Amino acid sequence: MNAQVATPVFAFDEIESGTARKVVVRGVAVSVVRIDDDLYAIGDVCTHAEISLSDGEVWCEERQIECPKHGSAFSLLTGEPATFPATQPVPVFEASVLDGQVVVTVGIDDVDDGAATIRPTIGNSGS
Ligand code: FES
């Protein structure tokens, strides 16, 4: 069974352009990034080691966020690392603004053993 879960996380005004903010949506750590009026949401945990990408620097022009530990830069559009040492992508989620609130949508697949896994949703939308 698949489900999309849209969760308001904080007011759009609470995040400055060029910054990232960590939120936890249904147990999933998500890094929400704002660049001007565009929002992005990707998995917060670096795939090289368990480091929060939200603590990294946002590269606005490249639409990337840099892991603060070893410097891999992850695409905010695809979740793919553009630089080593990370080689695996982080998931990408949908982020939007509704009534002034940032809303993050995660897809949840319930698998046979009862454990829930997160299915990335490609794409994002601005304000
Ligand atoms: S922990 Fe992120 S690049 Fe190493």
Q: What is the 3-state secondary structure (H, E, C) of the chain?
A: CEEEEEEEEEEHHHCCCCEEEEEEECCEEEEEEEECCEEEEEECECCCCCCEHHHCEEECCCCEEECCCCCCEEECCCCCECCCCCCCCCCEEEEEEECCEEEEEEEEEECCCCCEEEECCCCCCCC
What pLDDT, on the 0 to 100 scale, is given for residue 46? 98
69: how many CB neighbours lie within 10 A of its CB?
A: 17
Which residue, by CA, sits nearest to atom 1 of ligand 1?
A: 49
pLDDT tens-digit series, residues 15-71: 999 999 999 988 899 999 999 999 999 999 999 999 999 999 999 999 999 999 999
| Of 123 and 103, more confident | 103
8-12, 92-96, 109-113, 123-127, range with the lowest pLDDT: 109-113
What pLDDT, on the 0 to 100 scale, is given for residue 43? 96
pLDDT tens-digit series, residues 91-120: 999 999 999 999 999 886 522 333 444 555
Q: How far is the CA of 112 from the centre of ligand 1 (A)?
A: 32
Mean pLDDT of 63-81: 98
What pLDDT, on the 0 to 100 scale, is given for residue 110? 28
Pocket residues for ligand 1 (CB within 6 Å)? 46, 48-49, 51, 67, 69-70, 72, 85-86
Domains parsed from the chain with CATH numbers? 2-119 (2.102.10.10)
> How far is residue 106's CA from residue 91's CA, in Å, rounded to a whole number?
10
**Structure pTM?**
0.85
What pLDDT, on the 0 to 100 scale, is given for residue 59? 98
Phi, psi of 11 (to 5 degrees): -70, 140
